Structure 1
Amino acid sequence: MDSVVILGLRISILALLWVFILVALNAMRRDANAAAAVSATASGVLAQAGEQAPRRRETARQIAIVEGPLQGSHMELGTFEEFILGRANDCDFVTGDDYSSAQHSRLFRRGSQWFIEDLESRNGTFVNGVRIDQPERVEVGMDIKMGRTTLRLVA
């Protein structure tokens, strides 16, 4: 009788092990599919942005709000090297958006290129629909989303 119980326990443990393996494989498959979907979406967004962007690199002359509470607002970039963007009145470019942080992000120039950096905002900064966690290069025509506000560098 003891050998039958031990055999039953061994089979049960083996069955549980297989269930665990199948659950782990299923989770890995879902993660891989989700990552592929995000990658495809990001590629599609970047491809769309590429279609809208000029063929040759143009120099950004201003930043404009294309969507959000202060839509239509813009600011000449001029010779400035750095801007703080956010909802606080002491920011260089105020978004007027309650969903953006007081000091949400920093737009800065390195040579002739512009970069955007999230300043540990609550809702994050997105470039062409992809959340950034380090400084990201932005070009004319690319969308920068902070809260409910979408900004764009304009030639």
Structure 2
Amino acid sequence: MLEAVLLALKVLILILLYLFIWRVARAATHDLGGTKGAGAAPPPSPVSQVEWSPLGEELPPGAGRLPDEHDRGESRAVAEPRPRLIVERSSALAPGTELVLHGLITVGRSEDNHVVLDDAYASTTHARIVPGGAHYVVEDLGSTNGTFVNEERVSEATLRPGARVRIGETVLRYEE
């Protein structure tokens, strides 16, 4: 009787071990860009992935204008800082694309992100970029391959103008 119970426990432990290994392998292939399957839709074009307003958009009437002392009630445009990321290198986004930042954004492979990277080295939800005082802050969200600012792996870093953020194989330059 005791031998039968021990044998059953051994079989149960072996099944649990195989299940654990299968789950780890499945998560690793999913997170490192495994196959998408035959029925998967093609990734959207880079333009549809960007949900920020592009640079050069027209301001609403009166926005960003101050009265000029020489005008009689007329106004002139005043340049406002516009924090943005400029794509320097990417297999998913066109180099030179400018992404104007408005509040919190997420970056990764999942379609749920604000910036979708079809990049085998980017995690599903890889990082987020949030306003942090005068500048934006990039936060790694526990990604497998890390988030780098100026070639230094970071868990969180304040972005200064000219900083280069690398997520997977994508390099973005922060400007204000």
TM-score class, shorter: 0.5 to 0.7
Normalising by structure 2, we get a TM-score of: 0.50
**Residue number in structure 2 paired with 1:32:** none
> Post-superposition shift, 1:92?
0.8
Q: Which residue of 1 aligns with 2:59?
A: none
Match of 1:119 in 2: 141
Does the 8 Å CA contact 2:126/2:143 hold for their aligned counterparts?
yes
Kindly indicate whether residue 174 of structure 2 is the aligned counterpart of residue 150 of structure 1.
Answer: no
Point out 4+ residue stretches in structure 1 off by more than 4 angstroms: none
State the identity as a percent.
31
User: Structure 1 length normalisation: TM-score?
Assistant: 0.56
Measured in 1, the distance between the counterparts of 2:94 and 2:164 equals: 14
Spell out, residue by residue over 1:52-86, the C-alpha distance to the aligned partner (whole angstroms, 9 max, x if none). xxxxxx94531122111123233211xx2211011
Where does the alignment leave 5 or more consecutive residues of structure 1 unmatched?
Answer: 1-57
Among 98, 103, 118, which residue is 1:96 paired with?
118
Q: Deviation string for 1:105-146 (max 9, x for gaps)? A: 01001222111010000000001010012x210112110011
As a proportion of its length, which structure holds more helix? 1
What is the root-mean-square deviation in Å for CA atoms of aligned residues? 1.8
Offset, 1:88 = 1.4
Are 1:99 and 1:148, in contact at CA under 8 Å, matched by a contact in 2? yes
1:74/1:89 CA distance change after superposition, 3 Å: farther
Q: Deviations over 1:3-45 (max 9, x none)?
A: xxxxxxxxxxxxxxxxxxxxxxxxxxxxxxxxxxxxxxxxxxx
In structure 2, distance between residues paired with 1:149 and 1:124: 12
After the TM superposition, which residues 47-58 of structure 1 pair with which residues of structure 2 at under 5 Å, given as runs? Answer: none
- Aligned residue-pair number: 95
- Amino acid across the alignment from 1:71: A
| Whole-angstrom distance in 2 between the partners of 1:136 and 1:121 | 15
Higher relative contact order (CA 8 A, sep 6+): 1
Q: Are 1:64 and 2:90 counterparts?
A: no
Distance of 2:117 and 2:98 partners within structure 1: 10
Q: Give unpaired runs (5+ residues) of structure 2.
A: 1-79
Residues 1-155 of structure 1 correspond to what in structure 2 (within 5 A)?
Answer: 59-69=81-91, 70-72=93-95, 73-77=97-101, 80-133=102-155, 135-155=156-176
Q: Give, as a single letter, the amino acid of the residue that structure 2 aligns with 1:148.
A: E
